[in-house]
Amino acid sequence: MSRKLLLGLDIGGSKIEARLCEVIYDESGQYQFYNRTKELNSLNSLAVSRIPTQRDLGHDNVMSRLKELIKQVCVDANVELNDLSGIGIGLPGSVDPETGIMINGNSKIFIDQDIRKDIQSIFSIDIDIQIANDANCFALAESICGAGKEYFLETGVNYSGQIGLGIILGTGTGGGLIYKGDIFSGRDGGALEVGHSLLVTDGSPCYCGRAGCAEEYLSGPAIQSSHPDKLPSLEIFKRAEDGNDLELQIINTYKDHLVNFLTNLTNLYNPHFMVLGGGVSNQDTIYNGLEESIKENSFLKGKSPKIYKHQISDSAGVLGAIFLLKEKLNL
Ligand SMILES: [Zn+2]
């Protein structure tokens, strides 16, 4: 048995989560989970802490509180910073796979900032720091120990043979593609910015400069803004469930958009499965008939993907950030 200590940071627009984990290896030196013989308990969580991002206070303020957060989880886990083997970070935007720098996203304070260098200089440590888009981290975690595992148990096709898509339906709409074990980032980290693919011709204007982007129809705020009284999306789902006509109509329109969106992705990537995350994905009603509708509409009839609700709790993002350190995990 040997162990390594890894720190994951999920830096979002509204909160930051830090999780310090120890990875246990079995006698053969293999990370046990990869062999699907054990549950995730071979990645032991030693300490977890969350803080609000408060991005309106600016980049320097966030970085100084991030520093305190990292120190705190080390204290809580009773380990020294120098004992860490690596840090994985998820950021809310497109991240250049080479430099780890966020190129675009709606949390502007992180754009063009070299967070890897900042952390290394704040703590005067030379440590392996891997950074990726948060939707990619979600997709990676779900592929390794969530939806990908479910798919394996159902079909026998394991992680290294799977093509899986993780789709976030939350404050924004994003996506990540895991192709046979690896994140597909594109040249500059801009791949799978699916929230900015056209869904409605001449539709609502989007902050990216286009109009009719998927995010304008599939995010939580989009549901809210489609209601005449701008009710919160949760309330709209509840009223629809209670049989109110207006809200039912809004949710049915939402579901139609979702079918079109996921069918487009099916025709583009022909994945084994798609897994949905983010606040809207907690609404069971969106799954009613979803897989069947995609099956009917997709180009390869009868070959459409399995659709899963997220299998890992809120922590998929931070676990995915840890999984970015794949060399440290023998993944
Ligand atoms: Zn857009």
Going from the Cα of 190 to the center of ligand 1, the distance in angstroms, rounded, reads 13
Tell me, rounded to whole angstroms, the distance of Cα 181 from its chain centroid.
Answer: 15
**Do 291 and 323 have their domain in common?**
no
The reported pLDDT for the residue numbered 331 is 63
Distance between CA atoms of residues 129 and 111, nearest Å: 18
Which run of H or E residues covers position 90? strand 86-91
Evaluate whether residue 248 is within a structural domain: yes
Going from the Cα of 91 to the center of ligand 1, the distance in angstroms, rounded, reads 18
Evaluate whether residue 148 is within a structural domain: no
Evaluate whether residue 77 is within a structural domain: yes
**Do 60 and 164 have their domain in common?**
no
Paired tokens of 294 = 């995609």
The reported pLDDT for the residue numbered 26 is 64
Evaluate whether residue 241 is within a structural domain: yes
Q: How many domains does the chain have?
A: 2
Going from the Cα of 138 to the center of ligand 1, the distance in angstroms, rounded, reads 21
The reported pLDDT for the residue numbered 40 is 46
CATH number of the structural domain spanning residue 70: 3.30.420.40
To the nearest 10°, the Cα dihedral for 36, 40, 42, 44? Answer: 170
**Do 302 and 161 have their domain in common?**
yes
The reported pLDDT for the residue numbered 141 is 92
Going from the Cα of 264 to the center of ligand 1, the distance in angstroms, rounded, reads 16
pTM of full prediction above 0.85: yes
**Do 207 and 131 have their domain in common?**
no
pLDDT tens, position by position, 46-85 = 999 999 999 999 999 999 999 999 999 999 999 999 999 9
**Do 162 and 292 have their domain in common?**
yes
pLDDT tens, position by position, 100-113 = 999 998 889 999 99
Report DSSP state, residue 304: P
Which residue stretches of the chain have pLDDT < 70? 1-2, 25-42, 330-331
Q: Domain range spanning residue 200?
A: 157-309
Going from the Cα of 301 to the center of ligand 1, the distance in angstroms, rounded, reads 30
The reported pLDDT for the residue numbered 3 is 73
Evaluate whether residue 47 is within a structural domain: yes
287 with 281: CB under 8 angstroms?
Answer: no
Selection from 17, 325, 307, 329 nearest residue 142 by Cα: 307
